[in-house]
């Protein structure tokens, strides 16, 4: 299977599934700045599922762009841990952002044969 396709679809599904965490947080804690972080992931997941699922022209550029963006977010989280008290920059999210970023860049820049 094409790794770029697999990465794109996996990110789309996992990001969209953050809706479960968002609903849980809203029910228990109510609105917070973290709501926007989760909405970003959900929106990106929905865009991937809607537009990139079977569109091979998206896969390589998505892997590279998503990888670069999330690697930047991870580096920001390492440089400024717990920035503004946002979960997006806690240790767990920083590690997850690094994995998504590095994996995306490695897969996106790999030539498929």
pLDDT band at 112 (very low <50, low <70, confident <90, very high): low
Residue 101 in contact with residue 72, Cβ under 8 Å? Answer: yes
**Tokens coding 106:** 């490695």
CB 34 within 8 A of CB 86: yes
Q: Where are the domains of the chain?
A: 3-109
Per-residue pLDDT band at 48 (split at 50, 70, 90): very high
Q: What is the pLDDT of residue 68?
A: 98
CA–CA distances in Å: residue 33 to residues 5, 8, 15, 30, 85? 32, 27, 18, 10, 9
pLDDT in tens, 27-43: 999 999 899 999 999 99
User: Which of the pair, 86 or 71, is modelled with greater confidence?
Assistant: 71
Name the band, by pLDDT with cuts 50, 70 and 90, for residue 113. Answer: very low
- Averaged pLDDT score across all residues of the chain: 95
**What would the mean pLDDT of 46-72 be, rounded to a whole number?**
97
> Residue 54: what are its φ and ψ, rounded to 5°?
-115, 15
pTM above 0.85, yes or no: yes
């Amino acid at each position: 299977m094409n790794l770029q396709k697999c990465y794109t679809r996996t990110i789309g599904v996992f990001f969209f599934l953050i809706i479960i965490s968002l609903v849980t947080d809203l029910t228990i804690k109510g609105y917070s700045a973290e709501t926007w972080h989760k909405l970003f992931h959900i929106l990106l997941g929905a865009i991937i599922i809607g537009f990139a699922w079977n569109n091979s022209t998206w896969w390589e550029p998505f892997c590279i762009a998503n990888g670069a963006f999330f690697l930047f977010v991870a580096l920001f989280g390492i440089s400024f841990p717990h920035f503004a008290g946002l979960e997006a920059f806690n240790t767990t999210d920083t590690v997850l952002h690094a994995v998504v970023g590095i994996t995306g860049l490695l897969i996106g820049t790999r030539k498929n044969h």
